[in-house]
A and B are shown apart, each in its own frame.
Chain A
Amino acid sequence: RKEVEQDPGPFNVPEGATVAFNCTYSNSASQSFFWYRQDCRKEPKLLMSVYSSGNEDGRFTAQLNRASQYISLLIRDSKLSDSATYLCVSFSSNDYKLSFGAGTTVTVRA
């Protein structure tokens, strides 16, 4: 079983719509979580860190549910520029394990 699992999508949404997707993690010792975005054939870039129960950054909201071991990302008012693959990451300092999911692809259409 993979450490971090994501729905690969693709999620095809119109501009202005709201899209949300989850990732699940198997390591209960994980303390830190992140969302990265990766454009086609480009390097990953940090979108947001997820601490405590979650946080919000503009149109992006991340939530953490430790009991069910999942993290969600919600994008409001989608823009064409939001089209990318979103990578979910967990980190456990106990065993120094950093794990990326395979990514969820989002395509925003005009």
Chain B
Amino acid sequence: ETGVTQSPTHLIKTRGQQVTLRCSSQSGHNTVSWYQQALGQGPQFIFQYYREEENGRGNFPPRFSGLQFPNYSSELNVNALELDDSALYLCASSSGTSFQETQYFGPGTRLLVL
């Protein structure tokens, strides 16, 4: 086990709703990255948080937002859900921002938007 936990494990929402996903990083890690993985695809980088600030962002619209807390845990918020947001959402924690450090992934949250 990586020590990275995510909640909830599964979630069903309807179009237009909002969702908050949570991630607890591994002890000693100050960086959390979030990914969206659609069925049959590789993970797509959403954004990265380092010391409570967004440190980098992929090609996702502003309705995808996040937070990082002083204990380095993190939240991913998605507003105005669309059907295409149905995916596995993964967070990964690491000890640095360069991606040279090993990223440890959590088990993910499976989101279904109806």
A residues contacting B by CB (< 8 A) are 4, 32, 34, 42-46, 49, 87, 91, 93, 96-103
Contact = CB atoms under 8 A, between A and B. Distances in A.
Interface of B: 2, 33, 35, 40-45, 56, 58, 90, 98-100, 102-103, 105-108
A86 B107 CA distance: 17
Identify the interface centre among A32, A46, A91, A96: most chain B CB within 10 Å of its CB: A96
Given A87-B42, A100-B43, A102-B41, A43 B100 contact: no
A42 B107 contact: yes
Contacts of B58: 97-98
15 contacts: A32-B98, A34-B99, A43-B2, A43-B107, A44-B43, A45-B2, A87-B42, A97-B45, A98-B33, A98-B45, A98-B56, A99-B45, A100-B42, A100-B43, A100-B44
Given A43-B105, A43-B106, A98-B58, A93 B98 contact: yes
Nearest to B91: A43
Nearest to B43: A100
Nearest to A93: B98
A102 B42 contact: yes
Contacts of A43: 2, 90, 105-108
Given A96-B56, A98-B58, A46 B102 contact: yes
Nearest to B55: A96
| Binding site secondary structure of chain A | strand
A102 B107 CA distance: 18
Nearest to A8: B40
A46 B99 CA distance: 11
A96 B13 CA distance: 32
Contacts of B41: 102
Given A43-B106, A43-B107, A91 B99 contact: yes
B1 to A, nearest CB: 10
Contacts of A96: 56
